[in-house]
């Protein structure tokens, strides 16, 4: 007897992953097909909460289509995500698709508990919520993104990929602050580090660029976006990073101060009559490049420098000085450095920042070739001359692709 042929064709395999990277005032998203990591749609909602919020959606399926743009008030992350879901649906890529295998979320602070991507359940949500005080700009947005996505597709696995995970390998000597151990432990005060998905991806890509395995190379990664951080990666393992308990420590950023003497805070409380909350806003939102010169976009700062603007010049010099200090520090931490890799918006695009940060470090084997440095490209590339002992590289980051891969690896059906 022959078995009857099935009346319905087998369901399309669920091989797609939607990635949501919810920032304090933006959502970046990508829909990917994980069979070949092809991007089916990408987009960005920015200026959430303002009158002139902007949603830009680009369909890429089948050779791509025209980008669509909306400028209208989008009140919060929930509304933003619903607008994203509508854009995807308009391309036949709606969240109701059976081909969607999972939604991957960037979660900035995972504390000490989460060392790997994790399927989100109530306990995960609770922990991410508990960590809000140490990532006030990021974790609330991440949570809204997760909750909205869960409401839209309650049946689908939702996976959290933590910025902190890559840094959990740091030795205690790098992770502990030299403050009273009991107080630190009671309040879980330590260096957690952030942008870990990017540091992991870029350090691996840098090894590839050098034709080596990640275990063979020591890399200093400089992730210079709106938030900025440096990391020292030995043989693929993070051994130090510049951000700390929160994403405020370390490099000068778009609106964040990075390192300051902690006594600045008591001084402002006692002498400046400022509250803790006011100082929090000052250091996180009104400092860094914007506090120094009124602009946080490196393109605008360079334009002003070229016009002879003094405040912009000083802001640029302070930014670069801090960067150079961290390159020197991580050189010493690693002992031997094979490559320094620049990444994210500033690192990938601002040749003057790369040139100035490496200038004067010839004795360390670090040199930038002016011509190579001025090439504009989306490809990973080396910008140091062939004779240099240490490679200087520009390595575009792709946090969304890395989140998609980690998400899919967790939920994809196994063949074994
Ligand atoms: N062509 C460019 N030249 C110089 N800086 C740039 C350029 N394009 C982007 N940037 C910088 O990159 C920043 C954004 O980086 P990005 O990595 O997208 O940040 P985030 O992910 O934190 O939003 C901008 O604020 C700007 O300073
Ligand atoms: C952790 C952090 O600073 O992230 P972002 O650069 O996206 O603000
Ligand atoms: Mg970023």
**% residues pLDDT > 70 (the chain):** 97
The reply to whether 156 and 225 lie within a common domain is no
- pLDDT bucket at 10, cuts 50 / 70 / 90: low
Rounded CA-CA distance 242/59 in Å is: 37
- Are 262 and 140 found together in one domain? no
Higher pLDDT, 414 or 73: 73
Q: Helix and strand tally (H, E) in the chain?
A: 15, 14
Atom of ligand 1 nearest to the CA of 302: 4
Longest dimension (CA), the chain: 91
Average pLDDT over residues 196-208: 98
pLDDT at residue 147 greater than cutoff 60: yes
274 and 367 inside one domain: yes
The residues carrying an active-site annotation are 163
- Read off the tokens for 273: 């009559």
DSSP letters spanning 385-399: -TT-SSEEEE----H
**242 and 326 Cβ atoms separated by less than 8 Å:** yes
**pLDDT band at 9, cuts 50/70/90?**
low
CATH at 275: 3.30.420.40
- Tell me, yes or no, whether 248 and 350 share the same domain: yes
Verify that 234 and 346 share a domain, yes or no.
yes
> Pick from 102, 137, 162: which residue ends a domain?
162
According to DSSP, the β-strands at 339-343 and 391-394 are parallel
265 and 372, same domain (yes or no): yes
ipTM summary value: 0.98
Q: Are 329 and 392 in the same domain?
A: yes
Q: 133 and 244 share a domain? A: no
When pLDDT is cut at 50, 70 and 90, the band that residue 18 belongs to is: very high
In a domain, 303, yes or no: yes
Which stretches does DSSP call E strand in 245-371? Answer: 339-343
The residue written with tokens 């912009």 in the block is 312
Q: Are residues 122 and 221 in the same domain?
A: no
Centroid of ligand 1 to alpha carbon of 306 (angstroms): 18
Last residue of a domain, one of 162, 180, 197: 162
Backbone phi, then psi, for 235, in 5-degree steps?
Answer: 55, 40
> What is the extent of the structural domain holding 226?
212-399
Instruction: State whether 225 and 286 are in the same domain.
Output: yes
Distance CA 145, CA 286 (A): 26
Is a pLDDT exceeding 80 seen at residue 416? no
Ligand 1 binding pocket (C-beta < 6 A) is 225-227, 254, 296-299, 344-346, 349-350
pLDDT over threshold 90, residue 6 = no
- Is there an atom of ligand 2 within 6 Å of 247 CB? yes
Q: How far does the centroid of ligand 2 lie from the alpha carbon of residue 283, in Å?
A: 14
> Measured between alpha carbons, how far is 242 from 256 in angstroms, rounded to an integer?
13
Pocket test for ligand 2, best of 167, 227, 287, 343 (most atoms within 8 A of CB): 227
Mean of the per-residue pLDDT values of the chain = 94
Q: Are 204 and 380 in contact (CB under 8 A)?
A: no
CA angle at residue 104 from 102 to 106, to 5 degrees? 170
């Amino acid at each position: 007897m022959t078995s009857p042929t099935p009346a319905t064709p087998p369901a399309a395999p669920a091989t797609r992953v939607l990635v949501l990277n919810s920032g304090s005032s933006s959502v970046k998203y990508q829909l990917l097909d994980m069979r070949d990591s092809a991007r089916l749609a990408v987009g960005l909602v920015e200026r959430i909460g303002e009158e002139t919020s902007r949603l830009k959606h680009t369909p890429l399926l089948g050779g791509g289509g025209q980008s669509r743009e909306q400028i209208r008030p989008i009140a919060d992350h929930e509304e933003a995500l619903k607008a994203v879901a509508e854009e995807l649906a308009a391309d036949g890529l709606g969240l109701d698709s059976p081909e969607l295998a999972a939604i991957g979320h960037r979660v900035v602070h995972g504390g000490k508990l989460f060392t790997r991507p994790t399927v989100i359940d109530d306990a995960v949500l609770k922990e991410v919520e508990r960590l809000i005080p140490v990532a006030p700009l990021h974790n609330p947005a991440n949570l809204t993104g997760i909750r909205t996505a869960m409401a839209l597709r309650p049946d689908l696995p939702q996976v959290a990929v933590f910025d902190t995970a890559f840094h959990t390998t740091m030795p205690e000597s790098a992770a502990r602050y030299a403050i009273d151990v009991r107080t630190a432990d009671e309040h879980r005060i330590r260096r957690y580090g952030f942008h870990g998905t990017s540091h992991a991806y870029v350090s691996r890509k840098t090894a590839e660029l050098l034709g080596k395995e990640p275990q063979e190379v020591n890399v200093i990664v400089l992730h210079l976006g709106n938030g900025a951080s440096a990391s020292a990666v030995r043989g693929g393992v993070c051994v130090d990073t510049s951000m700390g308990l929160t994403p405020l420590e370390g490099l000068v950023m778009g609106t964040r101060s990075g390192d300051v003497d902690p006594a600045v805070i008591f001084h402002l409380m006692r002498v400046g009559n400022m509250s803790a909350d006011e100082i929090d806003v000052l250091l996180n939102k009104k400092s860094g490049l914007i506090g120094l010169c009124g602009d946080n976009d490196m393109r605008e700062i360079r334009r002003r420098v070229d016009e002879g603007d003094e405040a912009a010049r000083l802001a640029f010099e302070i930014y670069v000085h801090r960067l150079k200090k961290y390159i020197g520090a991580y050189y010493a931490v690693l002992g031997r450095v094979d490559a320094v890799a620049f990444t994210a918006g500033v690192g990938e695009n601002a040749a003057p920042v790369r040139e100035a940060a490496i200038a004067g470090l010839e004795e360390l084997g670090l040199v930038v070739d002016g011509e190579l440095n001025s090439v504009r490209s989306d490809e990973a590339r080396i910008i140091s001359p062939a004779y240099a002992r240490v490679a200087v590289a520009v390595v575009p980051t792709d946090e969304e692709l890395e989140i998609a891969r980690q998400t899919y690896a967790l939920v994809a059906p196994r063949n074994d």
